[in-house]
């Protein structure tokens, strides 16, 4: 064999060795990519499950928020109605107070009715019943007149 053929055989062997080396490297890289792909698919599955769970929670939170908004609206309406009713009660009370004050202003301060026996008994004031001349009743009247005059 001549030098040229030896060099050609050696070149072919080098090329074959390089091709074999490249094939091994490609197969190793392919294996690595398959492993990464499997890991990515597993991670995607986990992420999809997490997303589904979070979406469910989001729906639940939105439902609770909607119910709370409805309750708030009902409470606001009830409070408004209560305030209107309270204003009506206050207006009625003011009118009644004005009527009573006008009525009291027209009353004679000396016109105080005598206490009935039932009132005297409920008060426990037996001294007025035993006093035959009515002086205790007159004293009580005078006392009430003084209180009215002061106020």
Instruction: Please give the full DSSP string across the chain, using - where no structure is assigned.
Output: --HHHHHHHHHHHHHHHHHHHHHHHHHHHHHHHHHHHHHHHHHHHHHHHHHHHHHHHHHHHHHHHHHHHHHHHHHHHHHHHHHHHHHHHHHHHHHHHHHHHHHHHHS-TT--PPPPHHHHHHHT-THHHH-TT-HHHHHHHHHHHHHHHH-
Contact between 141 and 113 (Cβ < 8 Å): no
Same domain, 13 and 73: yes
pLDDT of residue 129: 46
**pTM of full prediction above 0.95:** no
Question: Which residue range forms the structural domain that includes residue 131?
Answer: 110-151
Domain count of the fold of the chain: 2
Within this chain, do residues 119 and 55 fall inside the same structural domain, yes or no? no
- Per-residue pLDDT tens digits for 69-124: 999 999 999 999 999 999 999 999 999 988 888 877 777 667 777 777 888 777 76
Residues 100 and 115 in one domain: no
For residue 50 the two structure tokens come to 């997490």
Kindly state whether residues 94 and 148 are assigned to the same domain. Answer: no
For position 15, what pLDDT does the model report? 66
On whether both 56 and 75 belong to a single domain, the answer is yes
23 and 89 together in one domain: yes
Quick one: 70 and 134 in the same domain? no
pLDDT per residue as tens digits for the range 30-53: 999 999 999 999 999 999 999 999
């Amino acid at each position: 064999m001549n030098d040229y053929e030896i060099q050609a055989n050696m070149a072919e062997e080098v090329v074959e060795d390089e091709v074999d080396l490249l094939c091994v490297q490609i197969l190793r890289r392919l294996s690595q990519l398959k492993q990464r792909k499997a890991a990515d698919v597993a991670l995607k599955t986990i992420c999809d499950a997490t997303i589904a769970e979070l979406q469910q929670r989001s729906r639940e939170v939105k439902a609770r928020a909607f119910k709370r908004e409805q309750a708030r609206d009902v409470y606001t309406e009830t409070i408004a109605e209560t305030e209107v009713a309270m204003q009506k009660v206050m207006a009625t009370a003011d009118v009644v107070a004005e009527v009573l004050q006008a009525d009291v202003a027209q009353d004679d301060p000396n016109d105080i009715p005598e206490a009935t026996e039932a009132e005297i008994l409920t008060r426990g004031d037996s001294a007025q019943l035993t006093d035959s001349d009515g002086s205790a009743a007159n004293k009580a009247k005078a006392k009430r007149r003084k209180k009215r005059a002061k106020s």
